[in-house]
Every structure is written in structure tokens, then in C-alpha cells.
Structure 1
Amino acid sequence: MDIRVLGRVDYAATYDAMRTFTDGRDDGTPDQLWLCEHAPVYTLGQAGKPEHVLNPRQIEVVQTDRGGQVTYHGPGQVVAYPLVDLRRLGIFVKEYVFRLETALIQTLNSWDITGHRVAGAPGIYVSLAAPSSHGQLTGPRPDPFAGLGKIAALGIKITRHRTYHGVALNVAMDLSPFDGINPCGYAGLRSVDLATLGVSTDWGTAAARLGERLATHLSP
């Protein structure tokens, strides 16, 4: 896999570039992984409901063709775009999502932070009271997000077995723009970053760790 560290790039231009790459690739085109950061922007999924944007203030809202509802991208967040041929990799969509989430969980574990999946809500969550606890979420959970904060979002698009869009890991960012939306369509869901959890790291380190884990799980 060809890993490209793009740094801070314009969201709309990167979105266009992903689609152009995917439309133009053939069976022999090597997979790529783009690691980047965006200026503040809200993005709506293909079926995203505008009412989940509560108060955009001066932040641009961009309609996209990925799955999911609304999310926020901004400085201090690592955004990873795997451009992968699933047929060549020999996996289907469910396994692809599982591998993306596994890479995020393993990346968090490198800082002794335990990531959790929540059924029906793609992305990765952490226990706010005990982010380093290795205990799993158990028992009846009438509110599946009780005591949790979302640290990583996931939204993908697959066309002709080829992927674009991807995942976003919150590292050290201004979290207040998340208050202007229902993150991923869930009212009251708290968003957190590594800095909130007491982890001191920089964007480059976080990007390298996430990139390495994604490449491992998405390479033949």
C-alpha cells in the first residue's frame, strides 16, 4: 500500500481527488492510504439529515456521498482515507469496516486507551470514567452511549468494490464545534480526543501509528 502523508489540505479538493482516483483506477492500480488534516468543516453523509446540524456558526457544511450522518473535521484530527480494492483484498464491506475499527482500537491501545465498538453505531468510543480499563462493555445498556465519548468517526463509500472516504481520529483539537451538531446523528453524544484523556502526542506521531495499523490490516 502506498501511504501518502498530505498534511493539512482542503476538504472539498481532497474529496474530489478521492473520487477522481477511484473512478480512474483499474485492476492493476496499487491501493493508497491518504493521511491528512482539514480546516474546520462539517460533512453530511449521503442520507444525512440537515436537522442534525444544530448551529454551524461560520463553519462550512459539505454534502458528501459517504455513509453516515454529520461529523466534524478540524485541526488536530488525523483523517485517513484508504483507497482500497476490496475484491483484490478478498473481503466484503462488513469485514472492511471491522478492520478499520480494529486498526483504530489498536492505535488507541498504543497509548493505553481502550477503544470500544457500539453495535449499530460505526466508529470507536471510550469510557470517560476509565479510558484505560480493559473491561468490555457488558450487560443491558438501555442507553448504548452512557458513560462513553466518541473518539473516532467512520464513514465510507464503496463503488465497484473500491473504497474511499474513511476514518477520523481525534488527537488534540478544539472540540467545541462538535457542540454544533448531533455527532453521527446522536443527540447528546459527547466527542473526546486523546488530549482530553490525558494523552500528550502530536499529529505526526498519531498519523504514523494509525497509518501503520491501517496498512497492516488492509494489505494482502
Structure 2
Amino acid sequence: MIVKRLGLVEYAPALEAMRVFTAERGADTPDEIWLLQHPPVYTLGQAGKPEHLLQNPAAIPLVHIDRGGQITYHGPGQLVAYLLLDLHRRRLKVRELVHLMEQAIIDTLAGYGLHAERKDGAPGVYVAGDKIAALGLRVRNGCSYHGLAINVDADLAPFGWINPCGYEGLKTIRMRDFGIEASVEEVGEVLLAHLQRLLPPLADTAGAADTAHRAEQAV
């Protein structure tokens, strides 16, 4: 596993780098996790509806992308983790990876004294019904990219100009709202440890073919 701590990165180049990495990787390419932040940007998933962007007084760029899900916001103060994994080698199905990512977030927040949980039918992680973390994946030829985002100390105003993840009236929160003063980088290291703990080890690819998801799909 290679971990890249990339700092603040424009969204479009990061997306292109993920696509290129996934398209060019081979059977022996190590998996990677990228930890980073983005300047302000809205991203709209494959099935996303533009009308979920209610207003945009700050003229934040809107990027149409190839993950699943609706519209969300990324900005400074939000931890983004991209998981570039060969699911075939780790004997992981897409839904299992989503569950694993959610659990890593829940365990990370628990370490800061926050009780977080899943919500049926709404991927992500919530505290008392309010969304604190979002998920979005793309899987191509059995390999994942995109990932997750946790609101650490992000400006929440841009979330108020959209229906977050397509849900009208969904309240979005951040760790700072609970008096947690950890930096994005500090939270990233805690999250990374949980992801590495929860991810299954590499398997013999010849014996894992029955669990591979080789068709293009989105979550």
C-alpha cells in the first residue's frame, strides 16, 4: 500500500490522475490511498440532477464526474481520501468496500468522542441524523477510485446552496461543531490507520476470480 499526502490539490487534475492511474495499472501495481484537500468545488455524480444546485452566490465551479451519487461540495478544511484499490486482489465486493469505508469513518470519529452511524438507503456517515461524511466510488475493471470526505473544519455555507447528496433539507455538520480542534492532517492519519486495519490483505488473484467485479459500475 502506497500512501500519498498531497495537501491542497485542484479537483480536475486529481480526478484525471485517478483515471490515468486506474487505466494504466497492472496486476502487480500497488494499491494507493491519497489524502488531500480541494479548493471549493461542487461535484455532480453520473445520475446527478443539476436542479440540486439551488444557488451559487460564490460562483463555485461545478464538475460533472464519473462516480455514483448526486451533488456534493469539497473545500478546504475537509479531509478527502481517495482509495485506488484492486478489489479482485483483496477479495472485496463494492458493497463491502462501502461498508468498510463507513466503518473507518465511524471508528475515526469515535476516537474523538463522537457517536456516528450509518443511515439506511443513504450512503455516508451521520451524527444524530446530520451528515458529517460522504462517500462516492467508481469501479472500473475491478479497481476502485474516488473515495470519501469528512468535514473537519470546512466552511459549511456552500452545503446550504445545494441539496447535499440529493436530499432536500439535509443538514451537514463538521467535527469543529463539537469542539474538536484536530487538523485535517491529524484526522487523516487516524482515518488512514483504520482503513489499513480494516482492508483485507492481498489475496492470490487466481483464487479470487469469483469475487471480481470486472464490469464498469458505480456506487
TM over 0.5: yes
* Whole-angstrom CA distance in 2 between matches of 1:59 and 1:35: 22
Show the counterpart of 1:59: 60
| Structure 2 CA distance for aligned equivalents of residues 210 and 47 of structure 1 | 28
Name the CA distance, whole Å, in 2 between partners of 1:210 and 1:180.
28
State the secondary structure of the residue aligned to 1:12: helix
Q: Deviations over 1:26-47 (max 9, x none)?
A: 1100000000000000000011
Counterpart residue identity of residue 145, structure 2: Y
CA contact (8 A) 2:91 2:200 kept: no
Matches within 5 A, 1:5-154: 5-57=5-57, 58-127=59-128, 148-154=129-135
Distance in 2 separating the partners of 1:100 and 1:204: 18
> What is the SS of the residue equivalent to 1:97?
helix
Q: How many angstroms apart in 1 are the aligned matches of 2:115 and 2:26?
A: 38
Give the drift of 1:91: 1.4
**Residues in 1 aligned to 2:84 and 2:15: alpha-carbon distance in whole angstroms:** 12
Q: Conserved in 1, the CA contact under 8 Å of 2:124 and 2:133?
A: yes
Say whether 1:216 aligns with 2:217. Answer: no
**Alignment-mate amino acid for residue 48 of structure 2:** G
**Contact 1:41–1:72 (Cα < 8 Å) also in 2:** yes
* Per-residue deviation, 1:200: 1.4
- 1:115-194 correspondence runs (5 A): 115-127=116-128, 148-194=129-175
Over the matched positions of the two proteins, sequence identity in percent amounts to 49
Unaligned segments of structure 2, at least 5 residues: 202-219
Deviation at 1:181, TM superposition (A): 0.3
Query: The residue matched to 1:6 in structure 2 has which SS?
Result: strand
Output the CA distance in 1 between the equivalents of 2:135 and 2:185. 20
Cα distance in 2 for partners of 1:206, 1:46 equals 29
Q: Which residue of 2 aligns with 1:139?
A: none
TM-score by length of 2: 0.90
AA aligned to 2:105 is L
What secondary structure sits across from 1:86 in the alignment?
coil
- 1:110 and 1:49 map into 2 onto residues whose CA distance is 36
Indicate the SS of the match to 2:56: coil
Offset, 1:215? 2.0
Q: In structure 1, give the amino acid aligned to 2:47.
A: A
Amino acid corresponding to residue 71 of structure 1 in structure 2: T
Root-mean-square deviation (Å):
0.8
* Number of the residue aligned with 1:134: none
Separation of aligned partners in 1, 2:56 and 2:141: 34
Cα distance, 1:19 vs structure 2: 0.2
Q: Which residues of structure 1 form unaligned runs of 5+? A: 128-147
Amino acid across the alignment from 1:195: R
Q: Which residue of 2 aligns with 1:130?
A: none
TM-score, scaled relative to structure 1: 0.89
SS of alignment partner, residue 178 of structure 2: coil
Q: 1:111 is matched by which residue type in structure 2? A: Y
The number of equivalent residue pairs is 200
Decide whether the 8 Å contact of 1:33 with 1:215 is kept in 2. Answer: no
